[in-house]
Structure 1
Amino acid sequence: MITLSVYKDADGKITGFRSTGHAGFAESGQDIVCAAVSALVINTVNSIETFTSDTFDLKEEEGMIDFRIVSKPCNESTLLLNSLFLGINGIREDYGKKYIKFV
């Protein structure tokens, strides 16, 4: 199961996330749920790095990404992070809550 934690600031804006685990939808190399979530996560991090001036901390290990914006998030970063969770929630609704959990 992929577990996602959402980091928010005092105003309730998303400032980052932690994604751990593997979906377990199919065998390694065939798991479309894991691939879809990974693509959204990596694209979000790359987009914030490329298209904004926000500074962030990023930790990556096998099966884990921890991303936190350390500056005050600009509107673009907020939009990208909201879009990430919209996409992941869509995958969760389509493929089943047993593969993706929000904590």
Structure 2
Amino acid sequence: MTRRERRSFSKDFKEQVVQLHLAGKPRVEIIREYDLTPSTFDKWARQHHSSGSFQEKDNRSPEETELIQLRKENQRLMMEVDILKQAALIMGRK
């Protein structure tokens, strides 16, 4: 089985595809006509329904946003600890 090259779609294209579906065109027909995967189409429809945006950051739950923020803070704190450990080693030598 050969892998397909990853394609990218513009926001306008995604909007048009979702609007076609909302206008009554069958899902299967849209997927076949535009050579989309069902999961891609379903994701676009879900994103449009929930937030009206196709950007990942606009479709995150508050928990996901908080988790990302906490992971960044944790990484920053771990770097600070590493710097302090290095400073303590340097100061201990003198």
Please give the range of the TM-score, normalised by the shorter of the 2 chains.
under 0.3
Greater gyration radius: 2
TM-score, length basis structure 1 = 0.24
Structure number with higher relative contact order (C-alpha < 8 Å, ≥ 6 residues apart): 1
Which structure features the higher share of strand residues?
1
TM-score, length basis structure 2 = 0.26
